[in-house]
Chain A
Amino acid sequence: MIRVDNISKSFDKNEALLEVSAVFAEAKTNLVIGRSGSGKTVLLKCLIGLLEPDSGDIWYGNDRFTGLDSDQQRNFRQQMGVVFQGGALFDSLTVEQNIRLPMDFFTDWTRDQKLERVNFCLQMVHLPDSNKLLPAELSGGMKKRVAIARAIALNPKYLFCDEPNSGLDPQTAIVIDNLIHEITLEFKITTVINTHDMNSVMEIGDNILFLSEGHKCWEGSREEILTSDNKVLNDFVFASELMKKFK
């Protein structure tokens, strides 16, 4: 479980997060939704320690993450897997080398054990036999899947995904969503996903946190989101004509 207590973050005079509190449940797919610039990425970066909140605390179970110094936070991050918006694969490394990198650093496994784990991760994301490809040879969806494979390489307890299906066609987006959901359930990972894709919300959202202009506006399940009377949330969820008709 991840608990966020009243965290705030500002850049110069722009307040990106204002006293946001939330609980991200264990072995669930927790979604953070909101318009662009609502503070989703800032919240995610605070959660993984790439940004330091101005105030408030972040707890991983009983560990106070915000109380750790930068070296301790770096060590703690070995329990996390992160999927960045663009995949963030290392251009000069092959798919296999990308996934193997965290193993090279943090395990004493033999070459064969590492290869076995790489192949397992690639199987999980439905990309077998792509070991020797370079990131430049992959499509957008494949890059995201390799990024997921790399994120789960060391069996993380926590998985963070920043808009994992942005820029993908609807079919591939659903594949990616389902993949993350399957991994979450199978390995009982606490997953936090930033998205503004309503398909994702309806498909895989166990717990949903809605941010607007740095504030927490709403929190609930995917069933509750359709019946909520929160105006700001409704403006976001039912922005398209199709969704309005659906409602």
Chain B
Amino acid sequence: MGILISLGRYMVFVRRIFSKPEKHGIYFRQIFREIDKLGVSSLGIVAIISFFIGMVVIIHMTSSIGNPLIPVYYFSYTTRDVLVLEFSSTVLCLILAGKVGSNISSEIGTMRVTEQIDALETMGINSASFLVQPKIIGMMITTPVLVILSIFIGLIGGWIVSIAGHLMTSADYIHGIRFKYDSFKVLYTLIKSVVFAFLITSISAYFGYYTKGGALEVGRSSTLAVVYSMIMILISNYLITQIMLG
């Protein structure tokens, strides 16, 4: 019963978020701020993680399925698919759920307990829309870009290890990552990233917005936001994969 009530409240919250903005110009400027705050600030962590995962995946592929009968370029081919299909969208968004989700939830939760949200409402401003809509749009624009960047950096990591570790030649590696290229898989991963971005932002904002109490509850909301965002990412990952590739 509690889950149904929460789900209903979440739906009402999302409807409030996407009600007509009071002034488009303010929202538009706010979207750029959020892109910078949530997206651009995540570039570093995305680059580092993707680079090292790319390096590790190619080593795993070589050691696990290394066989004289399998052409070496298959290792970079499978590395590319691991990055494109799952790592750079799903795993990356799970990481972003931790970083960005807790940030959003604690920011909005603190605004709630310090009455800043009440202050917005008493000014006649739709607080849910003003605070959350730019974040959702900003994240939905930024996340696909981060995903593409993650794929690219991951492949560079794999390439460096392949050359440095004498796993294959540069030509083999590049042949592998171009082998059986299917742009539909990239589209699939981009669609996933947009859906995940929406889930991370809206769920985290929801938990922050309905925080009651003080600092302790803000921390609790932040934890719940990350946990529920991750669960919803995993569930929707399965559903999208089943629909698009199943």
Q: What residues of chain A have their CB less than 8 Å away from a CB belonging to chain B?
A: 48-50, 74-78, 80, 82, 84-86, 88-91, 101-102, 104-106, 160
Residues 102-113 of B, flagged 1 when their CB comes within 8 A of A and 0 if not, give 000000000100
Write the chain A residue with the least CB distance to B116. A88
Q: In the complex, are the beta carbons of B115 and A105 less than 8 A apart? A: no
Q: In the complex, are the beta carbons of B121 and A77 less than 8 A apart? A: yes
Which 7 interchain pairs have the tightest Cβ spacing? Answer: A88-B119, A88-B115, A78-B124, A82-B122, A84-B115, A77-B124, A102-B123
Q: In the complex, are the beta carbons of B121 and A50 less than 8 A apart? A: yes
Q: In the complex, are the beta carbons of B26 and A105 less than 8 A apart? A: yes
Q: In the complex, are the beta carbons of A90 and B116 less than 8 A apart? A: yes
| Of B23, B114, B121, B122, the contact of A105 (CB 8 Å cutoff) | B23
| Of B111, B115, B118, B124, the contact of A106 (CB 8 Å cutoff) | B124
Q: In the complex, are the beta carbons of A86 and B124 less than 8 A apart? A: no
A-B contact count (CB 8 A): 54
- Tally of B interface residues using CB under 8 Å: 15
- Shortest A90–chain B CB gap in Å is 6
In the complex, what distance in Å separates the CA atom of A78 from the CA atom of B122?
Answer: 7
**Highest count of chain A CB atoms <10 Å: which of B26, B115, B122:** B122
Q: In the complex, are the beta carbons of A50 and B123 less than 8 A apart? A: no
- Shortest B32–chain A CB gap in Å is 15
Chain A residues closer than 8 Å to B26, beta-carbon distance = 104-105
B125 within 8 A of A: yes
- Shortest B125–chain A CB gap in Å is 6
Q: In the complex, are the beta carbons of A88 and B118 less than 8 A apart? A: yes
| Of A49, A50, A78, A88, the contact of B114 (CB 8 Å cutoff) | A88
B22 within 8 A of A: yes
In the complex, what distance in Å separates the CA atom of A160 from the CA atom of B121?
Answer: 14
Chain A residues closer than 8 Å to B118, beta-carbon distance = 50, 82, 84, 88
13 A-B pairs with C-beta separation under 8 A = A74-B124, A75-B124, A77-B123, A77-B124, A78-B124, A80-B122, A82-B119, A86-B115, A88-B118, A88-B119, A90-B111, A104-B23, A105-B123
Chain A residues closer than 8 Å to B116, beta-carbon distance = 88-91
B126 within 8 A of A: yes
- Shortest B124–chain A CB gap in Å is 4
- Shortest A66–chain B CB gap in Å is 16
User: Among residues 108 to 160 in chain B, which have CB atoms less than 8 Å away from a CB atom of chain A?
Assistant: 111, 114-116, 118-119, 121-126
Chain B residues closer than 8 Å to A89, beta-carbon distance = 116
Chain B residues closer than 8 Å to A160, beta-carbon distance = 122
Chain B residues closer than 8 Å to A84, beta-carbon distance = 115, 118-119
Tell me whether A48 and B115 are in contact in the complex, defined as CB-CB below 8 angstroms, given that A105-B22, A105-B23 are known contacts. no
Q: In the complex, are the beta carbons of A105 and B119 less than 8 A apart? A: no
- Shortest A17–chain B CB gap in Å is 18
- Shortest A121–chain B CB gap in Å is 14
Chain B residues closer than 8 Å to A80, beta-carbon distance = 122
Chain B residues closer than 8 Å to A82, beta-carbon distance = 118-119, 122
Q: In the complex, are the beta carbons of A74 and B115 less than 8 A apart? A: no
Q: In the complex, are the beta carbons of A85 and B115 less than 8 A apart? A: yes
Chain A residues closer than 8 Å to B125, beta-carbon distance = 74, 101-102, 105
In the complex, what distance in Å separates the CA atom of A78 from the CA atom of B111?
Answer: 21
In the complex, what distance in Å separates the CA atom of A77 from the CA atom of B125?
Answer: 9
Q: In the complex, are the beta carbons of A86 and B114 less than 8 A apart? A: yes
**Highest count of chain B CB atoms <10 Å: which of A74, A77, A82, A101:** A74
Write the chain B residue with the least CB distance to A77. B124
| Of B115, B119, B123, B126, the contact of A78 (CB 8 Å cutoff) | B123
Chain B residues closer than 8 Å to A88, beta-carbon distance = 114-116, 118-119
Write the chain B residue with the least CB distance to A80. B122
- Shortest B146–chain A CB gap in Å is 23
In the complex, what distance in Å separates the CA atom of A160 from the CA atom of B111?
Answer: 20
In the complex, what distance in Å separates the CA atom of A102 from the CA atom of B115?
Answer: 16
Chain A residues closer than 8 Å to B23, beta-carbon distance = 104-105
Chain B residues closer than 8 Å to A104, beta-carbon distance = 23, 26
In the complex, what distance in Å separates the CA atom of A89 from the CA atom of B115?
Answer: 9
- Shortest A46–chain B CB gap in Å is 13
Chain B residues closer than 8 Å to A86, beta-carbon distance = 114-115
